[in-house]
Amino acid sequence: MKALVFEQFGGPEVLEYREIADPAIGPNEVLVRTKAIGLNFADIYRRKGNYHLTGQPPYILGYEGAGIVEEVGSEISSIKVGDRIGFADVPFANAELAAVPIEKAIPLPDRISYETAASIMLQGLTAHYLVQDSYSVKPGDVAVIHASAGGVGQLLIQMVNLLGGKAIGLTSSKGKAEIALKAGADEVFLYSENWSDKVLQATQGKGADVVFESVGSTLSESFSATRTGGTVVFFGMAGGDPQPVDPRMLMDTSKTLTGGDLWNVLISRTERINRSKQLFKWIENEELTIQVPVTYKLKDGQEAHRLLESRRSTGKILLLP
């Protein structure tokens, strides 16, 4: 099979598209011919050597995608050859073939395309647990969403609206603010502004019920924008490490700081399928809109990495074998 691989850590130029051996599946795995593969910042961090990688080079990136089952392990009866599936948290996906454990194989409805599935698995399931588990958004809640023009941010805006809340977006430019507004944000403030004060003004001095914090370095401002008794959900640090939080501040203001990690939620195949069904239903009912992804051929993976790393993209980037 052909795959996008690298032998040493570095920039996009270390990526090579070449022939390697097909993966061998175990009794509880299916062999999937990939049709669309999601590109994520985690792939960049792994390419640079910021994340630990197991095994020996050549390394293969990629952890989410969708495709057609070509072979089924001997102990599997719930999936057959020809089935369409999506998957998340499956390594070595930047290839024409991927070995997918049965617990991570998610059946795709007929109306969900491979491109949609590869766009929604990680980002969609992340947004879903944030508004359902980390903080259960209720009608009337005001939610502040960091990086609101990004993939997770746009989905969070729509899900907050679906659950009856009001979304306030934060982003870095007027162009990205337009994207967040189009996704359904009531208001969008720029990081260059005193945005925590603007959130207070927009909520008549009360503050937001919840802030979905993915920047990290803005954590203290997120608390300033949160009402007494409100919650900050910390699920990323794209802008750097946060300052330490004084527990006395939490006590004095009755505020809550909670963390979020997708892999603490997707603990079984049942969880993965049930949560995915909710996403697919929203999409099929046109209640959740997925921005048209930017696509690159898998062989052009270097260019896809350069675009994502530039932070000029606002939606999902897919690699197509």
Does the domain at 139-259 match CATH 1.10.4160.10? Answer given as: no
CA–CA gap between residue 177 and residue 221 (Å, rounded): 19
Taking alpha carbons only, the member of 79, 194, 189, 84 closest to residue 145 is 189
Q: Are 85 and 105 in contact (CB under 8 A)?
A: yes
Q: CA 114: distance to chain centroid?
A: 16
Half-sphere exposure of 53 (CA within 13 A, CB side): 25
pTM: 0.92
Pinpoint the residues of the chain covered by CATH 3.90.180.10.
Answer: 2-121+264-320
Pinpoint the residues of the chain covered by CATH 3.40.50.720.
Answer: 139-259
What class, spelled out in words, does domain 2-121+264-320 have in CATH? alpha beta
CA–CA gap between residue 212 and residue 128 (Å, rounded): 12
Q: CA dist 4 to 60, 206, 217, 244, 271, Å? A: 6, 50, 33, 39, 30
Query: Strand (E) positions, 128-225?
Result: 142-145, 166-171, 187-190, 208-213
Question: Tens of pLDDT along the chain (321 residues)?
Answer: 999 999 999 999 999 999 999 999 999 999 999 999 999 988 998 999 887 777 788 999 999 999 999 999 999 999 999 999 999 999 999 999 999 999 999 999 999 999 999 999 999 999 999 999 999 999 999 999 999 998 899 999 999 999 999 999 999 999 999 999 999 999 999 999 999 999 999 999 999 999 999 999 999 999 999 999 999 999 998 888 899 999 999 999 999 999 988 989 999 999 999 999 999 999 999 999 998 899 999 999 999 999 998 877 777 899 999
pLDDT of residue 310: 87
pLDDT of residue 50: 80
pLDDT of residue 291: 84
By CB atoms closer than 10 A (0-12, 13-18, 19+), residue 153 is buried
